[in-house]
Amino acid sequence: STVERIKNDPNGKLLFGIMSNINQYYIDNLSTEVMKGLREIALQKKWTGGIPPLGYDVKNQELVINDTEAVVVRKIFEMSAEGNGYNTIIKTLNEKGYLTKAGRPFGKNSLYSILNNEKYKGTYIFNKCSRRNSENKRNSHKYKWLSSKSRCCSNKKRKCNIFTYFRNERCI
């Protein structure tokens, strides 16, 4: 039992080592099983968790377009395509009373994350994480791909990858 005291003799050290390794095996195995489950959910084109991007809601584990928020996202991309800078876009959005998914006014970080979010292009991203540099620190602008990503297909002759986000292939 884990409640029993383990003696500090060779037998106790052996028992402690075995128990430690069994516990570590349990943790590693649990981590592997959780990732298998998440990967399977991703293969089924379902949302794997977290806050959905602005313009989307999650219904039955699937991303669906939120028409009220999608107007804001379209406005952001239109203004950016017209050559407007961050400050102009932020000022316009905040003057009109638009808010981020978190319910706050827009700032440069929220605008940057929307304009650089590949989900708005129709790319499914699963298990993306930041790379570590030589000092073992994360750089949030450089990513390594631990899993697949793919684009929505607009051409029906091409076969869509199973990682495509949208069942109807309609992106904001």
Question: Sign of the CA dihedral 104, 74, 149, 65?
Answer: positive
pLDDT at 105: 94
pLDDT on residue 1: 55
The pLDDT of residue 71: 92
List the structure tokens of 136. 């073992």
CA dist 101 and 110 (Å) reads 9
Query: Cα dihedral sign for 19, 22, 23, 24?
Result: positive
Q: State the CB neighbour count (10 A cutoff) for residue 92.
A: 15
Specify the pLDDT at position 160. 37
Low-confidence ranges of the chain (pLDDT < 70): 1-3, 129-131, 138-172
- Sequence-distant (6+) residues with CB within 8 A of 94 are 105, 106
Q: Would you state the pLDDT for residue 136?
A: 73
Q: Helix, strand, or coil here: 145?
A: strand
